[in-house]
Structures are given as C-alpha cells and as structure tokens.
C-alpha cells in the first residue's frame, strides 16, 4: 500500500521567515495530494491541494510543488505569522480500487512553531 | 465549504461499556465516509471506509466486531466502540466525501475525544 513520509517532524521559524515541509510517497498511482492544518484538539482543515497533472499551485502565502518523477511534494509558507503555528499533515490519495474506494494516506505530521 | 458534524465531542465511559459516535454531513450527501483514529501527537490512522447502504471496509488490524460502523443514510454514519477498554481512549475523527473522483474533496468532522476509565 501507499506509504507517506514527512519531514521535518518539528520546525521552528522566526515570524516573517519561510517554512518548508517535505513529503515523499511510494505509490506512483497516487494522483491527489492535499495538505491539512490541524490545531490542537481540532479537526484537520484543508489548506491547499495539488493534483497529479499540475506541478505547482499557489494560494497567497501558501504554495505546493509536486515532482511526480521523484514522488515528492512540498508545502511552502512564506512570510510566516504566529497564527500559522499548528501541525501540518500531507496526504496522498490513490485512484479508486476494485471496491471503488480511493484511499488517503497521511504523513506523520510536522509541528510548526512561528516565533514572534 | 461543506460542514461535517460529530457528536459527542467528548465522552468518558467505563471499561466494558459501549459508546456510539455520530458523524453527519450537514449540507451535502456523503457517498463515502471515513473513520480515523488519532493518538496524541500522531497522525490520522484510517480505521474504515464505508459507503451508504453497504458494509464498511476495515483497514488491516482494525477489529470489525469491536468498531461497528453503520452508514445508514447519505448524511449519517455511526461508529460504535463495543466493550471499550482504556487502550481505546483516543481522538476519533470522521470525514465525508460527496462523490468519488479526482476532484472530490474530503471534509473532516470536529472529532470525538473518547476516554475509557
């Protein structure tokens, strides 16, 4: 099955600096890669996603890049703010299997701390 | 975006009792619902996937007789933890998807904190 690795596990940056989180996946059939932000005790919130037919996507201060050949994708946050502090999860989703299900596998998470 | 609710948000139960957690899609019909379990400072682990009206597909290592999932309608799925034990204490999160396909998004509920004493 799919295996998603995420690095680093913790990341501290000064306010205003950039933060980069990297993920690799194992199943070349995976075609959808969402990123979630989760604050303590709350639900994961989708912040950006990228599909396999796109190499890069940007939404204000957040961008995601995908390298299908190398099977890795990254989250970039620029001009970080204290409210960006949270745990971030990457995920990879495979196409429907014989049972019709698309399976999402999550990375292990990165705790981002933005220091004011 | 779409809204998924979960009830209860917190529950404390005694060892040996059963607990039911409800997951509802409030403004869309969820053809597929997922149940995840999350331990402190860890990632979300998929427990099972269910389509409305059919049996759930459980992930390897998840006891289907212990974690009963019912997806009775397009807006409601329930997870029942039977004969709960302290090791079942965890954060349980459901998510729902409106349709299969490349462009379908998955929406998460707020989670249920289960504590078994």
Q: Is the pLDDT of residue A42 over 70?
A: yes
Cα angle value B97/B98/B102 (rounded, 5°) = 80
Q: Report the pLDDT value the prediction gives residue B72, as an integer from 0 to 100.
A: 82
Residues in chain B within 8 Å Cβ distance of A104 = 34, 46, 106
Span of A45-49, B8-12, B83-87 with lowest mean pLDDT: A45-49
**CA A98 – CA B51 distance, rounded (Å):** 14
Q: Which of A102, A107, A111 is the mutation pick for testing B, counting most B CBs within 10 A?
A: A102
Q: How far is CA B16 from CA B45, B47, B51, B61, in A?
A: 24, 21, 29, 21
Q: Express each pLDDT in B46-103 by its tens digit.
A: 999 888 777 888 988 899 999 999 988 889 999 999 999 999 999 999 999 876 554 5
Q: H or E element: which one contains A79?
A: none
Residues in chain A within 8 Å Cβ distance of B43 = 89, 106-109
Q: Express each pLDDT in B29-59 by its tens digit.
A: 888 899 999 988 888 999 998 887 778 889 8
Q: Express each pLDDT in A3-34 by its tens digit.
A: 999 999 999 999 999 999 999 999 999 999 99
* Cβ-defined contact of B91 to A41 (cutoff 8 Å): yes
């Amino acid at each position: 099955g799919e295996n998603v690795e995420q690095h680093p596990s913790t990341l501290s940056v000064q306010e205003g600096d950039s933060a980069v989180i990297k993920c690799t996946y194992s199943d070349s059939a995976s075609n959808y890669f969402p990123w979630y932000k989760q604050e303590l005790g709350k639900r994961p919130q989708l912040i950006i996603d990228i599909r396999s037919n796109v190499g890069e996507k940007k939404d204000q201060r957040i961008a995601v890049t995908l390298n299908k050949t190398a099977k890795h994708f990254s989250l970039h946050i620029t001009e970080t703010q204290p409210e960006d502090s949270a745990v971030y999860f990457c995920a990879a989703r495979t196409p429907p299997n014989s049972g019709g299900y698309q399976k999402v596998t999550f990375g292990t998470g990165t705790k981002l701390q933005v220091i004011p | 975006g779409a809204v998924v609710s979960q009830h209860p948000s917190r529950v404390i139960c005694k060892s040996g009792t059963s607990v039911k957690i409800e997951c509802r899609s409030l403004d869309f019909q969820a053809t597929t619902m997922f149940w995840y379990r999350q331990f402190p400072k860890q990632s979300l682990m998929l427990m099972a996937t269910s389509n409305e009206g059919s049996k759930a597909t459980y992930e390897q290592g998840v006891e289907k007789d212990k974690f009963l999932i019912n997806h009775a309608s397009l807006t409601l799925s329930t997870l029942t933890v039977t004969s709960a034990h302290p090791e079942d204490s965890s954060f349980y999160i459901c998510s729902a998807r409106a349709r299969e396909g490349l462009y379908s998004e998955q929406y998460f509920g707020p989670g249920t904190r289960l504590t078994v004493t």
